[in-house]
Structure 1
Amino acid sequence: MIYPSGRAVWAAAAGAVPAFLVALALPSFWYLGLLWSCLLLAFLAVDAAAGRGRASLNASIDAPQQVGVGGEFGVQIAARHSGPRAAEARVGYDARLAPVSGSGGALLPTAGGSLDLRFQALRRGVASFDRLWVRWRGPFGLVWNQVVLPVESKVAVLPDVSSARGEAITLLQHAALAEGHAQRRAGQGREFDALKDYQPGMGRRMIDWKRSARHGKLLAREFRVEENNNIVLAIDSGRLMCEPVDGVPKVDRAVTAALLSAFIALKGGDMVSLFGFDARPRVSSGAVRGPASFAMIQKRAAEIDYSSEETNFTLALTTLAARLDRRSLVIIFTDFVDPISAELMLRTVGRLTERHLVLFMMMKDTELEGLADMPPRSGEDVARAVVAGGLLRERQVVIGRLRLLGAHVIEADHNRLGPALVERYLQFKQEDLL
């Protein structure tokens, strides 16, 4: 694209005044006023021809692969072309990012034709820089030569888990999980650990009669809580989960709670996989093990995007069940309004609980609870309270039906979602339900 610069506009405006005066003073020589226009057009043509160099343009964007929500990061733009003229560049970005001091500027020749910009990550997700505008002027400065280059540079905006890590360590200490292994408890668990002398008070089922007969004394089997369990974190990113709670979308709070539980499970020796869905499955990671895999889970969590579509529980949970080849703890982060919208979900959950341990994580609807408890100062307040109370009762009907189907349900405050999940997960391990 070639278009005139500000200097050309001012030059044309400056030449219009003398041309008007000549035409006014000497009407018979009006055509002399066109000389300035013709001269300016000639300079514009020379400037445009001399400023070409699009074929030799080489541009790139260097951005970090990942950054935390709210963090600032640097982006370096490098653009080089055959001409000696200085150039300017501007980068296109999506709504997850915000420029700190502008999204473009002059490319510094002293730095090899580069430009350093600063951006701030606003929302979780995969942010992208999709286009790059580069322009430079001709030798007279009358014409801009502009090129729009398609680029593909993605930055994974990860949830801020700094507070979650500290909270996870505290919960691990409270649960007495030393060095990432489950605490061994004699007589509990299903995984054989060792033989020891039988002590009064031990259950008779713990006695190993064959080895006791061989050694001539009573020996008891000692078990420990089984590790290597399969934990699936299924996060609903549909329309209802994208509604804000205290200024933060529910799906973001669910992702933070899921990462907290993933950190605990990986430290405890279990396998963790992530599954995101709305109208259809969107994100699916394989099962990973070990604390070093937490970075991969965190990066895949950034791919769970916001959606305005209705959640298809039948497709999502059926697909998830088909991928599980062993008994797993399936933790589903979701929300629903009434029994009618949750009917298909209830049918699918009944089949899922036949083989797997299913736990539903939901946030309390503080807005509805506030409306239901509002003092009735007017007729509108009474109507709001009645409607809110009815919706809360319908919500409890769905929760009751889920529990009748064998699923576990936690309805926690949005600030306590992560700790409540971790406490229930540790309780499952203590009770050998996994």
Structure 2
Amino acid sequence: MPIARAARRTAVRLGALALTGALLAACGSSPDSPSSDSAGGKVTITVDLFGSFGYKEAGLYEEYEKLHPGVTIKQTDTEDEADYWKSLQTRLAGGGGLADVQGVEVGRIASVTQQQSDRFEDLRKYGADRLEGQFAEAKWAAATGRNGEVLGLGTDVGPEAMCYRTDLFRRAGLPTDREELARRWATWDGYLELGRQYKAKAPGRSAWLDSVGSLYSIMIGQQKERYYDASGKLIWENNPALREAWDHAVEAAEDGLSARLDQWSPQWNQAFAGGSFATIPCPAWMLGYIKGQAGEAGKGTWDIARLPGGAGNWGGSYLSVPKAAKHKKEAYELIAWLTAPEQQAKLFRKQGNFPSATGAIDQVADAKDPYFSNAPIGRIFGEAAKAAPVQVLGPHDQNIAQQITNALSEVERKGVSSEQAWSNARKGVENTLG
């Protein structure tokens, strides 16, 4: 989701929570007893998310409510994860306005486990430790605190591919076969060269890709170490892999290959239906987002091919229960059901969110998506998920990434030089981290 979703989803998702002992006492009951406002067997579970998790769209809430008479699920969501996280931190500090379930983006999960573990429920008290075997090892470990606390259950992961508009490719005289394209853009240099060819014959006013920020995000998602090393040391400024992603994004901006759209903005959303760009680097969770924005008219005009430069991961999320939740036990039961292999498999087939539950991955290996020209999404994203590196996560990954993409936007939209934009990114990171 979203991302953006990060997912995104991003593009591209995260959360954490805090309160005092007095407030906890005021919230009421022990973990195994119903809270005061669930009398009569009726309870409303509140869920606060960002981007596109897809539960409502896939009918999973409705299914859960039928299986659990008396339970009503009420979801609120924020499109932009950065806005969501900022609002969540404000509510955590004040101790009020928190949902029973809060979404947490993978780029923030280290902040939860390393800095805010006292603000989340340790889900082991509800039996979460029995679920460890159903998740990919890296997904489970990332939400585990220093003392073994289970602070969230994994939803999806974000294996990466390239989504593209076959109708625009044809009009520009480019091939549309996904296997041929995968060979043509086996490297990022090949991808940008094909973009220059597209620009020379681009139909209408369409661009090669949506934004250089999405190019940077997808490239950095191919790296094991991005902003921190395994010891927890900040390395982003001297990381050659990060500079390579930066340089390619700058090159795309300077060559005029971008539609210069801010991801998650209203203009970006409208561009999916308007044909403003021909390609978009897409983690699996973005498929549902594209469908929602492009609508029924976009069916069959999109396809998916392997990503340039090898496999990577961008995004993926967790569902957590804050200490301030009114219905902790019921919230845990809901998130355990939503993240079970059967539900993750359903979600992928309907929305494209790739499972983090190992049993679900096997179930979706043969999945195809009619919306995306019957692309074999189970195979494409499954292979990417298996080959993607296990990423080193740090407490401020998402904040650093935001400052870098902000700086790249200055290159893209204002013509700021790469050197000046890098300096601005450095200052932004320093101010953010204090």
**TM-score interval, normalised by the smaller of the two chains:** under 0.3
Instruction: Tell which has more relative contact order, 1 or 2 (C-alpha 8 A, sep 6+).
Output: 2
Higher helix share: 2
| Bigger Cα Rg | 1
TM-score norm. by structure 1 comes to 0.23
Flag the structure with higher strand content. 1
